[in-house]
Amino acid sequence: MNLAELNKIATAMVAPGKGILAADESGGTIKKRFDAIGVDSTEASRRDYRELLFRSTKAMADRISGVILFDETIRQKAEDGTPLVKVIEQAGSIPGIKVDKGAKPLAFSPGETITEGLDGLRERLIEYRDLGAKFCKWRAVIDIGPGIPSYNCISANVHALARYAALCQEQGLVPIVEPEVLMDGDHDIDRCYQVTELVLKLLYEQLYFARVQLEGTVLKPNMVVPGKKCPKQVSEAEIAEKTLQVLKACVPVAVPGIAFLSGGQCDVEATARLDAMNKIGNVPWRLSFSYGRALQAAPQKTWSGKTQNKQAAQAAFAHRAEMNGLATLGQWKPELEKKAA
């Protein structure tokens, strides 16, 4: 393992003013997103849509440090025959790949899941590296509900994350480590804090046991928020403060950067909360984004599968990328949202 090289990539992934585009929706998820805008999910429509994003040249160069791809996309070519990986690199961004095989029901644990994909992972990583990936992503899903999460669910998931991360580093790839505590449910912010704290404590213990070098990793956590159905929603300031508090209590200084997931927050909320954290600052890691929905909801809706909407969709994507880029610097202002995308 070349730790200096891994650290260089990880640091570039959370460069100031930039963040990661999570475009790694699996077949089922992208179909759901396309259904919502009335578009058939075919190999060609998925390619056209993703090419549109990756060819948003200025946004990609200025604001998108890396792109997480799905297995199909890393093998696809743009309309003119250029591999999409090359399109991303030419735009000055780093290609990465989702390598987990999804969250499956955890035996004897109703309502809980375990993320699968470790079998044969070393061989798949070698192939992805040859296809141009420089980093990987694995997402563990922890739900909050009556009686859950169980210790069994958390420990199984963080153990898998640690095995995944070690394999990535062995193959010269930076692991994004994503333990997502879901924001579905009616729990309050303090319950989200408690669960996130336990997950992160156990995660860093397992990463240590697995001999993962934290300098060559990026953490992709949830923010500490109340469940969507919780009657007591809270201010942006409280979310920023509690998220920073739990991260300071759990995440070692050796980690170069933290790139939040958006998790179903609306796009402006995800930007405002990231910005609020960076305005507080005074943390040892870069605080950035690795957003899927919060970067793509607007361009997807604007595109709606129509070629004539392509430019407007690229403008909508560029706008969200710009807003989030500013949020990584603590320089976002609500007034900037009024500027039409």
Q: Looking at the annotation, which residues are catalytic?
A: 178, 220
**Count of residues in contact with ligand 5MM, rule CB under 6 A:** 16
* Contact positions with ligand 5MM (CB under 6 A) in 241-270: 261-263
Contact pick of 121, 247, 277, 294 for ligand 5MM (by CB under 6 A): 294
CB of 71 to ligand 5MM, least distance (A): 11
**Near ligand 5MM by CB under 6 A: residue from 293, 310, 319, 320:** 293
Contact between 96 and ligand 5MM by CB under 6 A: the answer reads no
Binding span for ligand 5MM by CB under 6 A among 22-30, 198-206, 226-234, 311-319? 22-30
The binder of ligand 5MM chosen from 66, 96, 292, 325 (CB under 6 A):
292
Nearer to ligand 5MM, 143 or 180 (CB): 180
Residue in the block written with tokens 């948003």 = 56
CB 26 to ligand 5MM: min, Å: 4
Residue 91 near ligand 5MM by CB under 6 A:
no
Residues in touch with ligand 5MM (CB under 6 A): 22, 24-26, 29, 68, 102, 139, 180, 261-263, 291-294
